[in-house]
Structure 1
Amino acid sequence: MRSGSLGATDVDALIVRFHCVAQWLAHTQLDELATRARARGISLGLDLAVGTHPDAFDVWSEQHLYAFGSSVGAPPDAFFPSGQVWGFPPPIPARARDDGYRQLRAALRHHLSIASLLRIDHVMGLLRLFWVPAGASAATGTYVYASLDEQLAIVCLEAHRAGATIVGENLGVVPPEVDAALARHGLLGMTIGYSNIEDVERAEQSLTAPATDIATFGTHDMPTFAGFVHGDDLTERIALGFGDPDDARDIAIRRAAALEVAAAARGIGPTVAAMFRAMSIELGASASPWVVLQLEDLWGERAPQNVPGTATERPNWLRRARHSLGDAPPETAALLRDVAEQR
């Protein structure tokens, strides 16, 4: 079907209309939100995903730009000994270049028509992506390189046209040339607040972030703050068969010790609420131009919205938030005000 011509009876018209309406609703709601936010002097931030769903319009309509015999993923590491297979086809660098990076430009313009800040997920992907052959283990994959400078030039041009700020998600294994390129082009990186409270030797130090990074406690690939404090991410990893139980136990012991030291140094109890409040205010006082707090962290949610390395094993992106903005606990607004006072 992917390679042939589709007739009127080959696709359920109801499904087509459903997706059209869903796209229209998403765009309309985001546009209205951005308009209201701008009227109040508030910037809206969005994410540009690292890849495209294999059944998405971009992939089906321009199949020559994608390598369908492979999937983007990640090589084996300490957290995922078997590596990761993410399930979407990688773009073919030479063909994207010959096409003038048209899809990249279109995606940037579409996002920046609404967002004042855009975070590029896995910004290392502008330099290289890990290709895994279809049906094979991630251990058999290899890196395929693209032109980082050419693509970053496009990012900068589109950001300048839109008057927007760009953040590159430069976490994990980051080739040194990526961080150097971000700095050279004036794009922001990321600082994660967890780093201090995983290490006893650093736990007493106040959380800081440089002026070249946004400051936050996590991303969609990380546990919530409460989940981190309780070690839920470690329990989940072992349940899924990722890593060694003894290693996870050692990490849990070190993390618990660091959290106790961090709480004592701040004169607070080692509770999730007290720790999150104190450390959020510390990030607020940092040199970072943007401090990002995830809404569910504000009320101590333990369950993550996404578990890396899983697809059907966990209900990723399907769980409803416990609160809406309108009925969030009163202490949520108080914490945000306290953080804002530090800016």
Structure 2
Amino acid sequence: MQLYSLRRTGDGGFGDYTALADFAVGAAGQGADAIALSPVHAQFTAVPTRFSPYAPSSRLRLDVRHADAETLLGELTPAFAPELAAEWTRLEQLNLIDWPAATAARLARLRQVFEVFQAQAPASLRDDFAAFRAESGAALERHARFEALQAAQLAQDPQTFHWRDWGAALRDPESAAVAAFAAAHAEEVDWHAFLQWQADRGLAAAQRAAREAGARIGLIADLAIGVDGGGSDAWSRQDEFLQGVEIGAPPDIFNRRGQGWGITTYSPHGLRANGFAAFREMLGTAFRNAGGVRLDHVLGLRRLWLVPEGATPDQGCYIRYPLRDLLRLVALESARHGAVAIGEDLGTVPEGFRPQLERAGIAGMRVMWFEQTEPPKGEVADFIPPQRWSPGAVAMTSTHDLPTVAGWWEGRDLAWREELGHTIPGMAETRAAERPLLWDAFCRSGVAEGPVPGPDQAARVADAAAAHIGRARCELALLPLEDAVAAVEQPNLPGTVEEHPNWRRRLAPPVERMFQDPAIEQRLRGLARARRAP
């Protein structure tokens, strides 16, 4: 599920770690062993217009926007200012998140709590905060300094988002100028460290709630493939990051022009030269409050498509990574934390790569849309029975980058492509031929019967799809929350920025009532029954 999409009464406009804990308890009550969530990496508190979970500032820290300010101080919690209370209510009523306004409101509320914490917090809380800062060490201190520095730079000049546009002395995190800034703005640095503490407390509480409610795995964190080159990680570890390029994907059937993701990541030479320190620290952060980690675009452990600044994605090339070393480190951290590891092995997969993942104990992903036979020329591919999917992989209906089941059945994704001028010739005809094949696959797996539903009966198809992945041989099945509620719109449409409301959709009903909804309960029960079927 996309954390931001959750609703709860009093959330201020987007999902938070408290909603996550409530959701996890409800899901575990329906028999769920795992709750996979979208990335919660640190974003830019000074730049709330940047909100893609896959283009964070830092993968070593958490997204503080999801922290719930009401859980820390108990009776000392300050009252809402009237203007903030009104804004809070307005934001909760929106179906599309207003990230700039909602972020400002959430940070304003957290600032109120921080001020009371500084003045009145009991010694036990102060000791907890101090212990968190000591445990988090230099990585937290650098991130807190970066956040304070970026806010100060942007206040002087809105064009200085990227740290390369700062004065020369401030580009070096170890410089005397940065140390002097931190000393002069100690309270601001404390504030950003406090935010990280609140985020860590919230995420830890959600994992604890999931496990105590019976989920054997609990949360599965999502580890993005890269970060924004202007962010905290790239500033803090310049020797270990690629400069002057963005990573992406080569042209394929879904994106004929290729993709540029506007993010960067580690340099293979920088990783080796520093003993893989950044990679190991990143893994430790990901596993810290989770029972599993999904590695986004796990193909990047072997090679990444690099696009030079100023070039188009189809002009890129691959750069190789030390796959064996990286796989061993993932396996090591997975074993140390007693947690599962999943790799998003979708797209242009090199021959022999999936067996390497399997030998390392990393589960791949088997997405229903892609589990198809190789068709004879001129014919439409049939769907592979789930009983033949890979046992060591994870079964799922869809992903955040692909159509939902209801949206696919209704053709909503095709309508978006047509509206945006991304239509691929023949897709509508192919879809018309695929619908009865998918329904027939459901019937053959024993989760549906009767004639093919019409385009206006997508909810029936969502029911069958949930049970269908439950019949897979895979050891784990994950149902996207969008398919649990039979949503038509997908969270993200690759290749778009402003044209599609990516990462902004909120789902209904709120978590307080979600697992009492008969349709949602039916899909989850259907999935659970299918998992138990012989």
TM-score by length of 1: 0.89
The alignment partner of 1:221 has SS state of coil
Counterpart of 1:104? 279
Counterpart of 2:435? 256
Instruction: Give the one of 306, 312, 331 matched to 2:519.
Output: 331
Against the structure 1 CA distance between its residues 210 and 204, is the aligned structure 2 distance closer, same or farther, given a 3 Å change threshold?
Answer: closer
Counterpart of 1:267? 449
Report the CA distance between 1:240 and its aligned residue.
2.9
Answer whether contact 1:208 1:283 (CA < 8 A) is retained.
no
Deviations 1:63-96 (A, max 9, x none): 2222221100111122211111100123211111
Cα distance in 2 for residues equivalent to 1:18 and 1:242: 45
CA RMSD of aligned residues (A): 2.8
Cα distance in 2 for residues equivalent to 1:234 and 1:311: 18
Answer whether contact 2:386 2:471 (CA < 8 A) is retained.
no
Cα distance in 2 for residues equivalent to 1:136 and 1:15: 39
Against the structure 1 CA distance between its residues 65 and 286, is the aligned structure 2 distance closer, same or farther, given a 3 Å change threshold?
Answer: same
As a proportion of its length, which structure holds more helix?
Answer: 2
Opposite residue 239 of structure 1, the aligned amino acid is E
Cα distance in 2 for residues equivalent to 1:148 and 1:196: 26
Instruction: Give the one of 504, 507, 510 matched to 1:321.
Output: 507
Instruction: Trace 1:67-78 onto structure 2 (pairs within 5 A).
Output: 67-78=242-253
Counterpart of 1:221? 401
Report the CA distance between 1:222 and its aligned residue.
1.1
Structure 2 runs not aligned, ≥5 long: 1-162, 171-176
Is 1:66 the equivalent of 2:66? no
Opposite residue 255 of structure 1, the aligned amino acid is E
Structure 1 stretch 279-288 or stretch 72-81: which is displaced more? 279-288
User: What is the identity percentage for the equivalent residue pairs of Structure 1 and Structure 2?
Assistant: 33
Is 1:32 the equivalent of 2:212? no
Structure 1 stretch 199-208 or stretch 178-187: which is displaced more? 199-208
Counterpart of 2:321? 146
The alignment partner of 1:71 has SS state of strand
Cα distance in 2 for residues equivalent to 1:242 and 1:93: 35
Cα distance in 2 for residues equivalent to 1:18 and 1:142: 42
Answer whether contact 2:222 2:296 (CA < 8 A) is retained.
yes
Instruction: Trace 1:49-128 onto structure 2 (pairs within 5 A).
Output: 49-128=224-303
The alignment partner of 1:306 has SS state of coil
Report the CA distance between 1:27 and its aligned residue.
2.5
Structure 1 stretch 166-175 or stretch 304-313: which is displaced more? 304-313
Cα distance in 2 for residues equivalent to 1:297 and 1:16: 41
Report the CA distance between 1:263 and its aligned residue.
6.3
Report the CA distance between 1:38 and its aligned residue.
1.4
Answer whether contact 1:208 1:282 (CA < 8 A) is retained.
no
The alignment partner of 1:5 has SS state of helix
Is 1:278 the equivalent of 2:467? no
Against the structure 1 CA distance between its residues 129 and 195, is the aligned structure 2 distance closer, same or farther, given a 3 Å change threshold?
Answer: closer
The alignment partner of 1:326 has SS state of helix
Report the CA distance between 1:250 and its aligned residue.
3.1
Is 1:247 the equivalent of 2:426? yes
Against the structure 1 CA distance between its residues 187 and 230, is the aligned structure 2 distance closer, same or farther, given a 3 Å change threshold?
Answer: same
Against the structure 1 CA distance between its residues 183 and 205, is the aligned structure 2 distance closer, same or farther, given a 3 Å change threshold?
Answer: closer
The alignment partner of 2:169 has SS state of coil
Structure 1 runs not aligned, ≥5 long: none
Is 1:212 the equivalent of 2:388? no
Instruction: Give the one of 286, 293, 298 matched to 2:479.
Output: 293
Report the CA distance between 1:276 and its aligned residue.
2.1
Report the CA distance between 1:134 and its aligned residue.
0.6
The alignment partner of 2:265 has SS state of coil
Report the CA distance between 1:208 and its aligned residue.
5.0
Answer whether contact 2:387 2:473 (CA < 8 A) is retained.
no
Report the CA distance between 1:188 and its aligned residue.
0.9
Answer whether contact 1:196 1:207 (CA < 8 A) is retained.
no
Answer whether contact 1:234 1:252 (CA < 8 A) is retained.
no
Against the structure 1 CA distance between its residues 232 and 183, is the aligned structure 2 distance closer, same or farther, given a 3 Å change threshold?
Answer: same
Cα distance in 2 for residues equivalent to 1:276 and 1:197: 19
Counterpart of 2:354? 179
Instruction: Give the one of 169, 183, 187 matched to 1:5.
Output: 169
Structure 1 stretch 18-27 or stretch 34-43: which is displaced more? 18-27
Answer whether contact 1:81 1:243 (CA < 8 A) is retained.
no
Counterpart of 2:418? 238
Is 1:340 the equivalent of 2:528? yes
Against the structure 1 CA distance between its residues 178 and 14, is the aligned structure 2 distance closer, same or farther, given a 3 Å change threshold?
Answer: farther
Instruction: Give the one of 365, 368, 371 matched to 1:193.
Output: 368
Report the CA distance between 1:264 and its aligned residue.
6.5
Report the CA distance between 1:166 and its aligned residue.
0.6
Against the structure 1 CA distance between its residues 203 and 166, is the aligned structure 2 distance closer, same or farther, given a 3 Å change threshold?
Answer: closer
Cα distance in 2 for residues equivalent to 1:293 and 1:321: 15
Against the structure 1 CA distance between its residues 32 and 98, is the aligned structure 2 distance closer, same or farther, given a 3 Å change threshold?
Answer: same
Answer whether contact 2:246 2:261 (CA < 8 A) is retained.
yes
Structure 1 stretch 22-31 or stretch 91-100: which is displaced more? 22-31
Opposite residue 102 of structure 1, the aligned amino acid is A
Against the structure 1 CA distance between its residues 334 and 97, is the aligned structure 2 distance closer, same or farther, given a 3 Å change threshold?
Answer: same
Opposite residue 179 of structure 1, the aligned amino acid is R
Report the CA distance between 1:239 and its aligned residue.
2.9
Opposite residue 28 of structure 1, the aligned amino acid is R
Cα distance in 1 for residues equivalent to 2:266 and 2:331: 21
Against the structure 1 CA distance between its residues 335 and 208, is the aligned structure 2 distance closer, same or farther, given a 3 Å change threshold?
Answer: farther
Answer whether contact 2:395 2:478 (CA < 8 A) is retained.
yes
The alignment partner of 1:87 has SS state of strand
Task: Find the structure with the greater CA-based Rg.
Answer: 2
Number of residue equivalences? 341
The alignment partner of 2:257 has SS state of coil
Cα distance in 1 for residues equivalent to 2:210 and 2:439: 39
Cα distance in 2 for residues equivalent to 1:119 and 1:34: 16
Against the structure 1 CA distance between its residues 209 and 264, is the aligned structure 2 distance closer, same or farther, given a 3 Å change threshold?
Answer: closer
